[in-house]
C-alpha cells in the first residue's frame, strides 16, 4: 500500500488554483489597506442623468481583486472537500479522507444551520446570532467541535490508545503496517512517539475537553453569581470580605495554584471520614473544595424558587423539594463519590482538575457579577421593587440577574474558551490527567519533546484547541454585537 | 492621595501574608513533606527514616511555629539530630554555630535555602528574575508599539476592511494560548521538517548571549497573546475619539486625515490603553512560565515550575512573594496612572 498525498488525485488541478487565488487575495488586501490608509477615497461623479455615483479608481479595483481571490480560495477548498467525497481510495488524499471522516459532523451542521436559519425570527437571541456573520462563523466552529465530540466514535479511525508497531513518528498518510481488511489503512495525520494515531487522539481529545470545560464554567458561574449578587446588593463588610478573598485568589500565579492543588500527593492528605455503605471520604483540600463548591448550585436554585414563590407555598414546596432531592443525590455522588444509587460519580483525577478550574474561575466571575449588579442596583426599577416591599433575594435573583443576562452570556462564552486554555495548560504541565489521556493539552506536551524533528504529532491538537477557543471568542463577539443592538 | 497609597500598601501586605501562609500550608502537608524527604534523601527510605529525616530538619514542628520562623518573628530552630549532627535554620556551612544569629527570617533579610538548587533563595530569585527581566523588556518593546499601531490603524476608520481584519486577527491572537502559538512557531520556523530553520527552537543559549536567532520566538510567542487584547482596547478608544465633536470640526475645517489622526486624536486615544497595558503584567507572568518551560529558558517561570514540582518550600515562598508583588504593584500603578491621566476621576 502506498502513502497518501495531502491532496490526492485532485491536487494537480486544485493546488495551482489555490496558490494563485491566495496570492491575489494577499496582494489585493495589502494594496487596499495601503490605499485606505492614504485616504485615496473614491470621488463622487455625476452620470448622464445627474445621479451621483462613486468612481472606481485603484481602490475599487483592489476590492474587486480581493473578492475574486477570496472566491477562488473558497472554490479550491470546496473542491478538495467534494473530491474527498467522490474519488476512490488513495485518490482521495489526506484532505479528502478527513472530509469524509467528518461526514456526520457536516450533516449535523447542515441540518442545524438550515433549521435555525429558517426559524431565526422566532428564536430570540439565538436566532439573532444568524444576522451577524462573525457570530455565525464562531457558532459554526463551536458546533463543529461539539458534534465532533458527540460523533467521536464514528469519526476516529483507530483506537486512540492502541500502539501499532512500526508506526512510531510516521509522517501523515503513512499506511498502517499489518492492517487487516476491517481496519482503516492509513494513519491520516501520522503517528506519535508511542506509535498511536494522531488523528484519532485529536478527535477523542475533543470529547475530553468538551466534557469538562462547559460544566466547570457553569459551576464557576453559579459560585460567582451566588456570592457576587449579595456582595453588590448588601455591600458593607460582606462585600469587603468577599472582594478581599477573590483578590487573594486572583493574585496567585495560576500555574503555582495548579501545582499546589493538582499534585497527586495532596489527594492523600487529610483525615478519613467513614460514610454510608462502607465508603470513606478523605478530607483532602480538593475534596473539601468540591464539597463547598458543589453546594452552590443547590443553594442557588433553592433561593431562586423560594424568593419567587414564597407567596405560593404549594408550588414553592414542590420546586424546592425537587431541587433538594435531586441536588443532594447528585451532590452525594459528585462531591463525596458516595451516591447510594451509583448513578453519579467522578474519577478522583477528574474531580481534582474540575475543582481547581472552578476555583480559579469563580473569583473573576464574582468580580464581573458584582460590577454589573452595582450598576443595575441604582436603576429606578430596583427602587420601585424596594418600595413595593420585595425581599432582597427576590430583587437580586428576579430583578437584577435577568437584566444582567446580556453581558453574562457573552462572558460565559469567553470563559468556556478560557477554561479550555486552562485545561490545556494543566495538560501541558502534565498535571492531573493520566498520561494516556488524549486531551489536547497533554498531546501537545507529548509532542513538544521532538518538535523540531517531528512537528506533526503536536500540531493537530494545537490547531484544534486554537480553533475551538477562536470559535468561542467569535461567538461571544457576535452575541455582544447582537445584544447591544436592542 | 497619600492616604490612598498607604491603605493600598496595607492591603498589599495583608494579601502577601495570607498568600504566603496558604503556600506554606499546602507545601507543608504531610504527603508533600514525604515527597520532599524522598527526593532529597533516598527514594527507598522507610517510613521511619522519612520521619527522622524530617524531624532532624525541623519540618515536624507545628505549622504556625514554622511560619513564624520563616517570617523571622520566632527564633530559628536548632535541632541535634538522631544522627548526632547539629542542624539549625540559621546555621550555614561557613559560620560556626555560636556566631549564628537567633532569628533568621524574611524580616532579617534571609529568604532561606533552596533544597532543589542547593543555594540561597535570594541569590536564585535575583539571578532568575534578571533573566526574565530581559525577556519581559523585549516583549514590552515588541508588544506595546505593535498593539498601539494596530489599534490606532483599526480604530481611525471604524467598520473599514482594515478595521475588521485587525479586529479578527486580534481575536485570533487572544484565542491562541502561548503553548499553542509556541508549538506552531517552532514547527514552522525552527523544525527540520518544514526546513525554514530561521530561528532556534530553544532559548537556553540566550541566557548568556541574546541573539536574534535564539530570542525571537519566545518573545514573539508571549507578545502575540497580549497584543490582541491591547490592540482591541486601543481600537475601541480610538474609535470613540474619532466620533467626538472636535474631530468633526477639524475635518470640516479641512485638516488632512493623517494630520487629524496624528495631531488631534492620538493623544486622547492613548489614555485607556495605558491601564490595560499595566494590567497585562500579571498575565505576562503566566505566559512567562509556559514559554520559559517550552523554550527551556531558565528564568523566573522555569524556576517556579522546578520549585513547585520538587516541593522546594522556601524557594516557592520567595517566588510567590515576588509574583504577588508584581501583581499588586501593577494594579496600584494602573490606578494611580488612570487618575493622573484622566482629570475627571478623583480618589476619595
**Between A374 and B162, whose confidence is greater?**
A374
Instruction: State in Å, rounded, how far the first CA of chain A is from the last one.
Output: 60
Asked which of A91-95, A105-109, A422-426, B287-291 is least confident by mean pLDDT, the reply is A91-95
Contacts of B26 in chain A (CB under 8 A): 260-261, 266, 285
Contacts of A269 in chain B (CB under 8 A): 29-32
> Is A287 within 8 Å of chain B by CB?
no
H-only helix segments in A295-439: 295-309, 313-336, 348-376, 380-387, 392-394, 401-403, 405-428
What's the pLDDT at A82?
A: 82
**Euclidean distance between CA atoms B139 and B227, whole angstroms:** 10
CA B248, B249, B251, B255 torsion: positive or negative? Answer: negative
Q: Which residue of B has its CA nearest to A468?
A: B175
Residue with cell 475543582: A355
Residue percentage of chain A with pLDDT more than 70: 94
**Between A47 and B171, whose confidence is greater?**
B171
pLDDT band at A421 (very low <50, low <70, confident <90, very high): very high
**pLDDT exceeds cutoff 80 at A342:** no
**In three state form, how does the secondary structure of A121-187 look?**
HHCHHHHHHHHCHHHHHHHHHHHHHHHHHHCHHHHCCCCCCCCCCCCCCCCCCEECCCCCCCCCCEE
| B308 in Cβ contact with A431 (< 8 Å) | no
Where along chain B do its domains lie? 2-110, 122-341
How many residue pairs bridge chain A and chain B with CB atoms within 8 Å of each other?
157
Q: How far is CA A76 from CA A17, A29, A67, in A?
A: 7, 19, 14
Local structure of B89: helix, strand or coil: coil
What's the pLDDT at A479?
A: 87
pLDDT band at A43 (very low <50, low <70, confident <90, very high): low
Report the residue from A39, A248, A260 with minimal CB separation from B257: A39
pLDDT band at A296 (very low <50, low <70, confident <90, very high): very high
Report the residue from A244, A424, A454 with minimal CB separation from B179: A424
Asked which of A22-31, A216-225, A273-282 is least confident by mean pLDDT, the reply is A273-282
CB-based contact B289 A255, cutoff 8 Å: yes
CB-based contact B308 A259, cutoff 8 Å: yes
Report the residue from A255, A261, A265 with minimal CB separation from B304: A255
Residue percentage of chain B with pLDDT more than 70: 96
CB-based contact A429 B305, cutoff 8 Å: yes
**In the CATH scheme, what is the code of domain B122-341?**
1.10.3720.10
Average pLDDT, chain A: 85
> Is A227 within 8 Å of chain B by CB?
no
What's the pLDDT at B346?
A: 58
CB-based contact A447 B15, cutoff 8 Å: no
Q: Nearest C-alpha of chain A: how many angstroms from B55? A: 19
What's the pLDDT at A482?
A: 79
pLDDT band at A325 (very low <50, low <70, confident <90, very high): very high
Local structure of B226: helix, strand or coil: helix
* CB < 8 Å from B in window 129-148 of A: 134
Question: For A245-264, what is the mean pLDDT?
Answer: 86
**pLDDT exceeds cutoff 80 at B155:** yes
Q: Nearest C-alpha of chain A: how many angstroms from B253? A: 17
What's the pLDDT at A41?
A: 53
For chain B, give the longest Cα–Cα distance: 90
**pLDDT exceeds cutoff 60 at A40:** no
> Is A252 within 8 Å of chain B by CB?
yes
> Is A334 within 8 Å of chain B by CB?
no
**pLDDT exceeds cutoff 80 at B165:** yes
- Phi first, then psi: what are they for A316, rounded to 5°? -55, -50
Q: Which residue of A has its CA nearest to B180?
A: A462
Count of alpha carbons within 13 angstroms of residue B135, beta-carbon side: 36
Residue of B49, B74, B46 whose CA lies nearest to B61: B74
pTM of the full structure: 0.88
Q: Nearest C-alpha of chain B: how many angstroms from A315? A: 45
Where along chain A do its domains lie? 1-100, 208-428
**pLDDT exceeds cutoff 70 at A51:** no
**Euclidean distance between CA atoms A127 and A150, whole angstroms:** 23
**Euclidean distance between CA atoms A141 and A182, whole angstroms:** 32
**pLDDT exceeds cutoff 80 at B167:** yes
CB-based contact A259 B309, cutoff 8 Å: yes
What's the pLDDT at B82?
A: 77
**Euclidean distance between CA atoms B184 and A82, whole angstroms:** 28
| A425 in Cβ contact with A254 (< 8 Å) | yes
- B301 Cβ partners below 8 Å, 6+ apart? B132, B285, B288, B289, B290, B291, B292, B293
* CB < 8 Å from B in window 59-118 of A: 63
For A431-463, write each residue's pLDDT tens digit: 867 777 888 988 888 888 888 788 888 889 999
Contacts of A458 in chain B (CB under 8 A): 183, 187
Contacts of A141 in chain B (CB under 8 A): none
**How does DSSP classify residue B100?**
S
Q: Nearest C-alpha of chain B: how many angstroms from A424? A: 8
- Best mutation site among B31, B116, B180, B225 for testing chain A: the one with the most A CBs within 10 Å? B180
Q: Nearest C-alpha of chain A: how many angstroms from B85? A: 30
Q: Nearest C-alpha of chain A: how many angstroms from B346? A: 19
**Euclidean distance between CA atoms B283 and A326, whole angstroms:** 40
Report the residue from A32, A444, A466 with minimal CB separation from B161: A32
H-only helix segments in A156-263: 198-234, 236-251, 254-262
Question: For B40-55, what is the mean pLDDT?
Answer: 83
CB-based contact A253 B286, cutoff 8 Å: yes
pLDDT band at A470 (very low <50, low <70, confident <90, very high): very high
Question: For A468-474, what is the mean pLDDT?
Answer: 93
What's the pLDDT at A304?
A: 93
**How does DSSP classify residue A398?**
I
**Which residues, in sequence order, are bridge partners of residue A273?**
A281
- Best mutation site among B26, B63, B307 for testing chain A: the one with the most A CBs within 10 Å? B26
Most confidently modeled range among A91-100, A165-174, A390-399, A449-458: A390-399
Report the residue from A253, A455, A470 with minimal CB separation from B193: A455
Between vectors from CA A469 to CA B163 and to CA B178, what angle results, nearest 5°? 90
Q: Nearest C-alpha of chain B: how many angstroms from A360? A: 13
What's the pLDDT at B51?
A: 85
Question: For B229-256, what is the mean pLDDT?
Answer: 89
Q: Nearest C-alpha of chain A: how many angstroms from B156? A: 9
Q: What is the residue-wise DSSP string for B27-39? A: HTSHHHHHHHHHH
Instruction: State in Å, rounded, how far the first CA of chain B is from the last one.
Output: 8
Q: How far is CA B197 from CA A309, B64, B206, B210, B292, in A?
A: 68, 54, 17, 18, 20
**Which residues, in sequence order, are bridge partners of residue A407?**
none
CB-based contact A266 B31, cutoff 8 Å: yes
**Euclidean distance between CA atoms A197 and A156, whole angstroms:** 9
Asked which of A147-151, B77-81, B124-128, B229-233 is least confident by mean pLDDT, the reply is B77-81
What's the pLDDT at B337?
A: 78
CB-based contact B11 A254, cutoff 8 Å: no
**Which residues, in sequence order, are bridge partners of residue A174?**
A187
Residue percentage of chain A with pLDDT more than 90: 34
Report the residue from A263, A462, A470 with minimal CB separation from B184: A462
For A92-103, write each residue's pLDDT tens digit: 778 888 888 888
CB-based contact A253 B316, cutoff 8 Å: no
**pLDDT exceeds cutoff 90 at A339:** no
Amino acid at each position: 500500500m502506498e502513502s497518501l498525498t495531502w491532496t490526492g488525485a485532485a491536487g494537480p488541478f486544485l493546488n495551482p488554483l489555490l496558490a494563485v487565488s491566495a496570492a491575489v487575495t494577499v496582494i489585493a488586501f495589502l494594496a487596499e489597506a495601503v490605499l485606505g490608509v492614504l485616504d485615496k477615497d473614491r470621488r463622487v461623479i455625476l452620470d448622464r442623468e445627474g445621479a451621483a455615483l462613486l468612481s472606481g479608481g485603484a481602490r475599487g479595483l483592489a476590492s474587486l481583486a480581493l473578492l475574486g481571490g477570496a472566491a477562488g480560495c473558497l472554490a479550491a477548498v470546496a473542491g478538495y472537500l467534494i473530491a474527498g467525497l467522490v474519488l476512490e481510495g488513495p485518490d482521495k488524499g489526506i484532505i479528502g479522507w478527513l472530509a469524509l471522516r467528518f461526514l456526520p459532523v457536516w450533516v449535523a451542521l447542515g441540518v442545524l444551520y438550515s433549521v435555525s436559519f429558517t426559524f431565526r425570527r422566532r428564536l430570540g437571541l439565538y436566532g439573532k446570532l444568524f444576522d451577524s456573520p462573525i457570530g455565525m462563523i464562531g457558532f459554526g466552529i463551536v458546533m463543529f467541535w461539539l458534534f465532533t465530540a458527540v460523533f467521536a466514535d464514528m469519526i476516529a479511525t483507530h483506537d486512540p490508545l492502541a500502539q501499532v508497531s512500526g508506526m512510531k513518528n510516521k509522517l501523515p498518510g503513512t499506511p498502517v503496517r499489518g492492517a487487516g481488511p476491517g481496519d482503516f489503512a492509513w494513519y491520516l495525520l501520522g503517528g506519535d512517539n508511542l506509535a498511536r494515531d494522531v488523528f484519532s487522539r485529536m478527535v477523542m481529545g475533543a470529547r475530553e475537553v468538551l466534557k469538562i470545560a462547559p460544566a466547570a464554567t457553569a459551576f464557576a458561574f453559579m459560585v460567582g453569581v451566588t456570592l457576587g449578587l449579595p456582595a453588590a446588593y448588601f455591600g458593607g463588610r460582606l462585600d469587603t470580605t468577599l472582594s478581599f478573598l477573590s483578590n487573594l485568589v486572583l493574585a496567585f500565579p495560576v500555574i503555582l495554584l495548579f501545582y499546589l492543588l493538582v499534585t497527586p500527593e495532596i489527594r492523600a492528605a487529610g483525615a478519613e471520614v467513614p460514610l454510608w455503605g462502607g465508603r470513606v471520604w478523605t478530607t483532602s483540600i480538593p475534596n473539601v473544595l468540591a464539597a463547598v463548591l458543589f453546594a452552590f448550585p443547590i443553594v442557588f436554585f433553592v433561593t431562586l424558587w423560594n424568593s419567587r414563590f414564597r407567596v405560593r407555598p404549594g408550588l414553592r414546596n414542590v420546586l424546592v423539594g425537587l431541587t433538594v432531592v435531586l441536588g443532594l443525590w447528585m451532590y452525594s455522588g459528585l462531591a463525596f463519590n458516595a451516591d447510594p444509587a451509583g448513578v453519579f460519580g467522578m474519577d478522583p483525577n477528574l474531580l481534582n482538575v474540575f475543582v481547581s478550574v472552578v476555583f480559579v474561575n469563580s473569583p473573576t466571575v464574582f468580580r464581573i457579577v458584582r460590577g454589573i449588579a452595582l450598576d443595575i442596583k441604582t436603576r429606578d426599577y430596583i427602587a420601585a421593587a424596594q418600595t413595593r416591599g420585595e425581599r432582597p433575594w427576590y430583587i437580586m435573583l428576579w430583578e437584577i440577574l435577568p437584566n444582567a443576562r446580556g453581558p453574562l452570556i457573552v462572558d460565559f462564552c469567553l470563559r468556556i474558551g478560557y477554561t479550555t486554555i486552562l485545561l490545556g495548560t494543566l495538560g501541558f504541565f502534565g498535571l492531573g490527567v493520566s498520561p494516556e489521556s488524549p486531551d489536547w493539552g497533554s498531546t501537545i506536551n507529548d509532542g513538544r519533546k521532538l518538535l523540531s524533528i517531528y512537528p506533526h504529532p503536536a500540531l493537530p491538537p494545537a490547531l484544534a484547541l486554537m480553533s475551538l477557543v477562536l470559535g468561542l471568542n467569535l461567538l461571544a463577539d457576535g452575541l455582544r454585537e447582537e445584544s447591544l443592538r436592542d | 492621595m497619600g492616604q490612598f497609597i498607604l491603605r493600598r500598601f496595607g492591603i498589599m501586605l495583608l494579601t502577601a501574608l495570607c498568600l504566603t501562609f496558604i503556600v506554606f500550608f499546602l507545601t507543608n502537608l504531610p504527603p508533600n513533606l514525604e515527597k520532599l524527604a524522598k527526593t532529597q534523601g533516598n527514594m527507598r527510605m522507610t517510613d521511619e527514616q522519612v520521619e527522622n529525616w524530617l524531624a532532624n530538619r525541623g519540618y515536624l514542628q507545628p505549622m504556625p511555629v514554622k511560619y513564624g520562623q520563616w517570617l523571622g518573628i520566632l527564633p530559628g530552630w536548632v535541632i541535634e539530630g538522631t544522627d548526632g549532627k547539629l542542624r539549625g535554620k540559621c546555621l550555614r556551612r561557613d559560620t560556626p554555630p555560636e556566631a549564628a544569629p537567633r532569628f533568621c527570617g524574611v524580616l532579617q533579610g534571609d529568604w532561606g535555602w533552596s533544597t532543589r538548587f542547593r543555594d540561597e533563595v535570594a541569590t536564585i530569585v535575583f539571578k532568575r528574575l534578571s533573566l526574565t527581566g530581559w525577556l519581559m523588556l523585549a516583549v514590552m518593546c515588541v508588544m506595546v508599539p505593535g498593539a498601539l499601531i494596530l489599534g490606532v490603524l483599526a480604530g481611525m476608520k471604524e467598520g473599514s476592511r482594515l478595521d475588521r481584519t485587525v479586529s479578527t486577527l486580534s481575536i485570533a491572537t487572544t484565542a491562541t494560548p502561548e503553548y499553542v502559538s509556541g508549538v506552531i512557531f517552532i514547527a514552522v520556523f525552527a523544525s527540520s521538517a518544514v526546513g525554514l530553520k530561521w530561528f532556534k527552537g530553544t532559548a537556553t543559549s540566550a541566557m548568556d548571549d541574546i541573539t536574534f536567532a535564539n530570542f525571537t520566538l519566545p518573545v514573539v510567542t508571549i507578545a502575540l497573546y497580549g497584543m490582541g487584547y491591547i490592540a482591541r482596547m486601543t481600537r475601541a478608544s480610538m474609535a470613540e475619539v474619532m466620533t467626538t465633536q472636535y474631530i468633526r470640526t477639524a475635518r470640516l475645517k479641512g485638516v488632512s486625515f493623517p494630520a487629524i489622526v496624528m495631531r488631534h486624536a492620538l493623544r486622547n486615544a492613548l489614555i485607556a490603553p495605558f491601564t490595560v497595558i499595566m494590567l497585562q503584567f500579571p498575565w505576562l507572568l503566566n505566559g512567562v512560565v509556559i514559554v520559559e518551560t517550552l523554550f527551556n529558558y531558565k528564568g523566573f517561570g522555569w524556576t517556579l515550575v522546578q520549585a513547585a514540582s520538587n516541593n522546594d518550600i522556601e524557594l516557592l515562598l520567595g517566588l510567590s512573594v515576588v509574583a504577588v508583588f508584581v501583581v499588586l504593584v501593577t494594579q496600584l500603578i494602573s490606578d494611580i496612572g488612570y487618575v493622573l491621566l484622566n482629570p475627571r476621576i478623583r480618589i476619595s
